[in-house]
Structure 1
């Protein structure tokens, strides 16, 4: 349909061609032999080409049928001869799935360590103690001999600076 208005003659011809020939085309494509899952794509593309050459749809039924089958057959042959098909190797069993290695984790640690190295020593020590050492604010305050409020502010400003450092490295948005 053009412009969502009334159907044109071409639209009617295509709809009639679809109703009349799509089942026959699908059976024809599968009989070539061709993958049944891809047969619907071939039928759709064949009917699209018929729409692009709408004058063929005005011809007698045997001519339309032969033209559609020829187009579908050529599409199947082209696909079977394609480089994609030649390079595809069919195997009985799927290969092993990739196993997870530590590369990503090591890379993340390296980037974080590099970003941590840009922080002032007092902020770096508090962040390392809290996140890597698993110590509480009270434990860190006792360890460093500073008030808990100072530990909290160093954590806050240190984490803010760490975020900026990671943004500069493209890790955090």
Structure 2
């Protein structure tokens, strides 16, 4: 292929129909893709798929910038090699600049939050609360469910603070046993 086949004095937009563009890309591919692929394969460590992607991107850039290719300078291959080398360098820099990608497979092993599990847990807790005494349910309701302090719960229930503390201790112990009997362990 002659250099004049690739480069014209007119900008690409004035060259005419898509046929000229198609012929340009075919000529570039026919004359330069093979040697360029060999060069890029060496740069990317033998990764053929990556090398083919780089060659394709190089040829697309040559097509887009056909008006920059200089017929007087000789072959366009040095320009193509330079562009390909810069693409490889840019890809390398981009891969180093961002964190490594991780595989999503381990995430699939983690249990997802499920409303059904939450509902079943609440049913088990409600059932277990029914197994403790009324006095124990009252102090649990005042302190844990309503968020009151020991002093506030004592005032609400009309009992001494020490009694609230001891009832909370024994209520939680009874509730834990009742939950374990229902298969709730954590």
Give TM class, smaller chain. 0.3 to 0.5
TM-score calculated relative to the size of structure 2: 0.44
